[in-house]
Structure 1
C-alpha cells in the first residue's frame, strides 16, 4: 500500500470520528438547522462526482460518476424538502377570509 492510501484512509477515519462526535452532541432542537447545513455539505458530493466524471477514462467510471451525481442531487433535493416541511410546522395557520368577515 502506498503512503497516499494510508493518508487518505487516516483522513477518512478521522472525519468519521469527528462527525460522530459532533452529531452526537447536537440537541434535538437544532436538528432542523443542522440538517439544512448538512444538505449544503452534500452539494460537495455533487461537485466531487463532476470531478470524477472529468477524470474518467472508461465507461464504467462515467456510469459511476453519473450515479454518484444523481444520488447526491436526489439527497440534496430531498433534504431541502424535508427541512422545508419541518420548518412549516412552526408557522401559524393562516386565517381564512370567511372567518375574518364573521368576526366583524
Structure 2
C-alpha cells in the first residue's frame, strides 16, 4: 500500500525549501551579504560536481541533456556569483579623495 506518492514528497520538500530560503535571505543583515554570497558560490560548485556525476552515470539521452543543462546553469550561477561578490567587495574599499588643483596657481 502506497501511503504518499514520491512526487508529492518531493514537491513538499521543494516548497518548504523555497519558503525557508526566502525568509533566511531576506532577514540577513547587509553586513553579511558578501559572506552569504561566498557560501552560495561554494554550494553551486558542489552542484556542478553532482551534475557532472549525474551526466556521467546516466544512460538515456534525456538524462544526459538535463544533466548537461544543470552543469551549464550551475556554472553560470557560480561565475555570476563571483562577479556580484567582487562588485560588493569593491563597495567597501576606501576611495581616495580627489585632488583639487587651483586654476590660478603659479607654475
TM-score range normalised by the length of the shorter chain: 0.7 to 0.9
Q: Which sits farther off after the overlay, 50-59 or 12-21?
A: 50-59
Structure 1 regions of 5+ residues with no counterpart? 95-104
The answer for the alignment partner of 1:68 in structure 2 is: 70
The two structures, once aligned, show a CA RMSD in angstroms of 2.2
Query: Separation in 2 of the partners of 1:51 and 1:3?
Result: 26
TM-score relative to the length of structure 1 = 0.72
The answer for the alignment partner of 1:44 in structure 2 is: 46
Deviation (angstroms), 1:44: 2.8
Query: Separation in 2 of the partners of 1:69 and 1:62?
Result: 10
Structure 2 regions of 5+ residues with no counterpart? 97-107
Q: What is the number of equivalent residue pairs in this alignment?
A: 94
Deviation (angstroms), 1:38: 1.4
Query: Separation in 2 of the partners of 1:25 and 1:82?
Result: 19
1:9-37, CA deviations, whole angstroms, 9 ceiling, x for partnerless residues? 22111111111111121122322221111
Matched, 1:89 2:88: no
Extract structure 1 runs of 4+ deviating beyond 6 A. Answer: none
Which protein has the bigger helix share? 1
Larger radius of gyration: 2
The answer for the alignment partner of 1:22 in structure 2 is: 24
TM-score relative to the length of structure 2 = 0.70
